[in-house]
Amino acid sequence: MQVIESYKPFEIQDIELTEWKQRPVKNNFFELVLIKTGEGTQCINYNEYNYGEGSLFLLPPLKCHSFTIKKPTQFVFLKFTDSFFKNVNRINIDRNEWFKEASYILSNYNQLPGDIIQNEIDRRHLTRLIDMILQESRGYDNTSINLITSLMTSVLEILIRNIKKSSYFEIPNHTDDRITKMLAYINEHISKTELLKVENLAEVFMMSPTYVSEYFKKQVQMSLREYIIKAKLKLVEIRLINSDYTLTQIADELGFTDISHLSKTFKRYTGISIRDFKKNGEYMMLKRSACPPHVSL
């Protein structure tokens, strides 16, 4: 096994396994998994998906996940960590934009098993990028910092592009592609209150204003207002656990009137106070379901 931890936007592990072993789960953002060689199945919450050479998966935090290995498998795990976003490093990039991109990925794909990449060109891009990150990490020195940062940014951009183009939202009885585009639009502009108004959505998606709310509720099984609130609260959780944003900054960015409004809304939907949430350090809105004790993580 080779574990490489050369710079803290990420941790990277290159390992060949013949059987899956329990791995620690932390509230970091997520892991991108590349299957270099081998065959088997991936399982998340009892849902299975076959994997083979070139498969690319996202592993979310706090989820039941495992791999059943049929042929010896070489995995590369690229873990996006939170320490980079807490200003512990000195890289000349827009840390806020990086954080928003990683938060978008974590809060918007549906955390079911399956290949995250549908486009073969993007698959080749990601495979090359991961190989370059691996090589730079092995020979790591000060000259690697900016290159690794650029490579990581490119990885995030490709992941976001594929999430926006695919049905990675949890939609019951999904039959209309417009709802996927509408959900992507809402989540992409979640901090811009004006763009989320019914009138603007009607204009963007060429519907009548009176029909937007009815259409949304029929497709998503919840009101537009409730969906927007929950989408914001997922980002609140990420900022509370994975960043050093203040409550004032979080409230201002996500369109809450003030800290009091944010706190009351958070408790109403999660059932606990922000203070207790931070003390527990565990996602609530982002956690789709719990794992029974006997299931491997």
Query: Does the pLDDT value for residue 171 go beyond 70?
Result: no
**pLDDT of res. 56:** 92
User: What is the pLDDT averaged over residues 109-129?
Assistant: 84
Average pLDDT, the chain: 81
State the residue for tokens 């951009």: 157
- For 239-284, the pLDDT digits (tens) are 898 888 899 999 999 999 999 999 999 999 999 999 999 888 778 8
**pLDDT of res. 280:** 86
Which residues, 6 or more positions from 31, have their beta carbon under 8 angstroms from its beta carbon?
A: 58, 59, 77, 78, 79, 80
Structure tokens at 63: 């989820």
In angstroms, the CA 140 to CA 53 distance is 27
Residue % of the chain over a pLDDT of 90: 41
Distance set, CA 41 to CA 37, 49, 217, 278 (Å) = 13, 5, 35, 35
**pLDDT of res. 64:** 65
Q: Which residues of 221-253 are buried (b: 16+ CB within 10 A; e: fewer)?
A: eeebeebbbebbbbbbbbbbbbbebebeebbbb
**pLDDT of res. 27:** 54
Structure tokens at 107: 């809060």
**pLDDT of res. 295:** 34
Amino acid at the residue 189: H
Query: Does the pLDDT value for residue 99 go beyond 90?
Result: no
Burial (CB count within 10 angstroms: exposed 0-12, middle 13-18, buried 19+), residue 103: buried
Number of H helices, E strands in the chain: 10, 6
Name all domains of the chain by residue range, CATH numbers in brackets. 2-165 (2.60.120.280), 177-280 (1.10.10.60)
Query: Does the pLDDT value for residue 139 go beyond 80?
Result: no
Q: Which residues partner with 12 through β-bridges?
A: 4, 78
Amino acid at the residue 256: F
134 neighbors 147 (Cβ within 8 angstroms)? no
- For 197-231, the pLDDT digits (tens) are 999 999 999 999 999 999 999 988 899 999 999 99
Structure tokens at 37: 């060689």
Per-residue confidence at 136, pLDDT binned at 50, 70, 90? confident
